[in-house]
Homo-oligomer: A and B are copies of this chain.
């Protein structure tokens, strides 16, 4: 039986990732407490964890504050992501990691490329993140995985906007395919270079979407 604090953490983390905690404003603890059917204490415990994860802000005397889409933050997180993912792939190359396990990933990528338009955005996001995590985990490092999962969560909103058009979907998964082709040929140098380029394009697109993301959130709070 999970504790109330754990339940609160799961729910509030999901809300924070999706910008459902009021961006730039105080998070109303009493309202959340009624909404989640528990006292404020486990909610505050969960919010404290989310503060350390960069998913909620806090301010003395004010309490907890919903995070906002910030272009500099998106940029910084994509840079971190690029350095950790490319670094991991380079480490896998140096270690001569077995790439056989990527065949399943290649099959999935091909299946998506056949008809990118018929996939739910949330499935594509999941596949996108799984692809990148699988590559990084060719050089296993649980601590790096924790950081990447956090970075993924924090940029998921703009990343998903980046995959809303068929054009961008096709481009992204074709780039995945090219990376996988290189890896399956054990052409590590090409794979690392292709990954870096892919991440640079993704960062540029995501950054370009921060204004649109902010507009979406603004219209939500007007409603």
Contact = CB atoms under 8 A, between A and B. Distances in A.
Contacts of A87: 79, 82-84, 86-87
A88 interface: yes
Contacts of A141: 76, 79-80
A98 interface: no
Total copies of the chain: 2
Nearest to A9: B48
A123 interface: no
Interface of A: 2-3, 6, 41, 44-46, 48-54, 60, 72-73, 76-77, 79-80, 82-84, 86-88, 91, 139, 141-144, 146-147
A143 B76 contact: yes
19 contacts: A2-B60, A3-B60, A41-B41, A45-B45, A45-B48, A46-B48, A49-B49, A49-B51, A51-B52, A73-B143, A76-B143, A79-B87, A80-B84, A80-B141, A83-B83, A83-B86, A83-B87, A86-B87, A87-B87
Contacts of A77: 143
Contact of A143 (B6, B50, B54, B86): B54
Q: Is the interface of A mostly helix, strand, loop or mixed?
A: helix
Contacts of A72: 142
Contacts of A44: 45
Contacts of A86: 83, 87
A139 B53 CA distance: 23
Nearest to A146: B54
A53 to B, nearest CB: 5
A41 B45 CA distance: 9
Given A6-B60, A52-B52, A76 B142 contact: yes
A83 B3 CA distance: 37
Contact of A144 (B3, B53, B76, B144): B76
A80 B48 contact: no
A45 B51 CA distance: 11
A19 to B, nearest CB: 18
Interchain residue pairs A-B with the least CB separation, the first 7:
A83-B87, A52-B52, A76-B143, A48-B48, A49-B52, A76-B141, A45-B48
